[in-house]
């Protein structure tokens, strides 16, 4: 009986700590790990809210960040969309010095009343499953150091057309074992 009471007290005593850990935002993702996702940027020194945006790949311009608005995250981890930018789009072309970001979980996207994916994103995703589009995407990932993200994309292109234009420049020679992936 005492053992059960002790365990119950330990569990209830640790629960706020565990919940607080789960609710913390983790700004540990590079921009190329966040393609086509809602993300939050870390607060600047005087900010009270986070900048919300979507990272996407424009195959002509490279990785880009579309500002979607500002988000308040309270102590209970409730996400509240403060403002959006419906009349205009602010796009930032991402360079190598972009801060690490936190991916917004799908449940929090829904909590803010946002669509799973913004309507405008379809334009940039057009052709991404075709060989030419896959080679271009692979190039952009390789170019910025995201080779781990590039390899699966380029292997799909290789499986469809091993002689596709510029594929050999973006994907090193595959061994027999690798080509079976």
**pLDDT tens, position by position, 15-47:** 444 334 335 789 999 999 999 999 999 998 899
Least confident of 50-54, 125-129, 136-140, 173-177: 173-177
What integer best gives the mean pLDDT of the chain?
83
Same domain, 104 and 40: yes
Q: What angle do helix axes 147-160 and 131-143 make, rounded to 10 degrees?
A: 160
pLDDT above 70 for 174: no
Predicted TM-score of the model (pTM)? 0.78
**Residue 19 lies inside a defined structural domain of this protein:** no
pLDDT above 50 for 107: yes
Same domain, 44 and 115: yes
**pLDDT tens, position by position, 113-169:** 999 999 999 999 999 999 999 999 999 999 898 889 999 999 999 999 998 998 988
**Residue 16 lies inside a defined structural domain of this protein:** no
170 pLDDT tier (thresholds 50, 70, 90): confident
pLDDT above 50 for 2: no
Same domain, 87 and 157: no
**Residue 145 lies inside a defined structural domain of this protein:** yes
**Residue 14 lies inside a defined structural domain of this protein:** no
Q: What pLDDT was estimated at residue 17? A: 40
Q: What pLDDT was estimated at residue 39? A: 98
Expressed as residue numbers, the domain containing 102 is 31-124
Same domain, 152 and 116: no
How many domains does one find in the chain?
2
Same domain, 136 and 79: no
Same domain, 101 and 119: yes
Chosen domain end from 82, 101, 124: 124
Same domain, 115 and 35: yes
Chosen domain end from 97, 124, 151: 124
**Residue 153 lies inside a defined structural domain of this protein:** yes
**Residue 25 lies inside a defined structural domain of this protein:** no
Same domain, 118 and 156: no
Same domain, 78 and 162: no
Non-local CB neighbours of 154 within 8 Å, separated by 6+ positions:
134, 135, 138, 167, 170, 171
**Cα–Cα distance between 167 and 130 in angstroms, integer?**
13
Q: What pLDDT was estimated at residue 84? A: 67
Residue that wins the pLDDT comparison between 111 and 9: 111
**Residue 8 lies inside a defined structural domain of this protein:** no
What residue spans of 79-130 are helical by DSSP H?
106-111, 121-125
Residue that wins the pLDDT comparison between 9 and 39: 39
Q: What pLDDT was estimated at residue 4? A: 42
Same domain, 40 and 98: yes
**Residue 10 lies inside a defined structural domain of this protein:** no
Torsion of CA 14, 15, 18, 22, to 10 degrees: -170
10 pLDDT tier (thresholds 50, 70, 90): very low
Same domain, 113 and 135: no
């Amino acid at each position: 009986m005492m053992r059960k009471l002790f365990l119950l007290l330990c569990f209830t005593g640790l629960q706020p700590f565990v919940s607080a850990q789960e609710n913390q935002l983790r700004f540990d993702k590079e921009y190329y790990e966040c393609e086509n996702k809602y993300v939050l940027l870390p607060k600047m020194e005087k900010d009270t809210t986070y900048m919300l945006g979507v990272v996407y790949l424009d195959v002509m311009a490279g990785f880009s960040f579309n500002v979607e608005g500002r988000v308040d995250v309270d102590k209970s981890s409730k996400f509240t969309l403060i403002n959006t930018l419906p009349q205009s789009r602010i796009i930032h072309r991402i360079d190598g010095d972009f801060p690490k970001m936190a991916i917004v979980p799908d449940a929090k996207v829904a909590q803010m009343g946002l669509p799973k994916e913004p309507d405008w994103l379809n334009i940039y995703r057009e052709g991404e499953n075709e060989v030419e589009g896959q080679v271009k995407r692979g190039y952009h990932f390789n170019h910025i150091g995201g080779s781990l993200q590039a390899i699966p994309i380029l292997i799909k292109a290789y499986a469809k057309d091993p002689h596709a234009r510029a594929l050999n420049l973006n994907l090193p020679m595959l061994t027999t074992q690798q080509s079976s992936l």
